[in-house]
Amino acid sequence: MERPLHRRRAETRALSVPQPQPQPTRRVPDVRVGSTPDGLAPISVAERSLAAGRSQWAALTAVVAAAVAADQATKHLVGASLYVGERVGVVGPFSIHRVENSGIAFGLFASATSIVIFLTAIAVIWMLGFFARSGGRHPVLPVGLGLILGGSLSNLVDRVRLGHVTDFLDIGPWPAFNLADSFIVAGVAVLVATLMAVDRPARPPARP
């Protein structure tokens, strides 16, 4: 029996329409950064270098230069204005009292100037080496280490040149000190706080 005309036309159109062909599956290449002993485990995160770069060295140099300039300027001003032992009251227990100190901060080791110079030089070299290796660990690191280096270098220059440093900041019973000593103490505080913040383990993300 002959099929109806409209069915024959529909079948003809269905045969004339091209059917989509299945596309071959493309394999994504396994791109890896670095290498592993077995060559199979992918490395997803590359370790960032902690060494100091140009920006860190520039920041450190700027802080050191500012600390040395400020300390030397205040020592020169006190030396030109006061005699050794002279005191000028400022407010409350705080006064400006010119003292010549051949030791380290706050008058310690006053009779061992050569040893103090040697230990200070060793400390400065060690700090420079530490900064070269780890200056990129935190943006604040050049500030903390720069204050320590600036204060240490300024006092070191005075000990080598004059055999002593000038202390003039006097607060009651506390031994007299200078601006370089203040920079060293502030730099140590900043450095310790920075390293503690860097080494603190990251908290796991909170679950929703």
Q: Verify whether residue 71 is a known catalytic residue.
A: no
Name the residue type at position 108: L
Q: For residue 163, which phi and psi values (nearest 5 degrees)?
A: 85, 0
- Which of 157, 178, 158 is closest to 169 using CA atoms? 178
Which of the following is catalytic: 71, 158, 167, 170? Answer: 167
Element containing residue 156 per DSSP (H, E): helix 141-162
Structure tokens at 32: 């890896």
Q: Let me know if 181 is a catalytic residue.
A: yes
Longest CA–CA span in the chain (Å) reads 132
d(CA 171, CA 177): 9
What is the set of active-site residues?
A: 167, 181
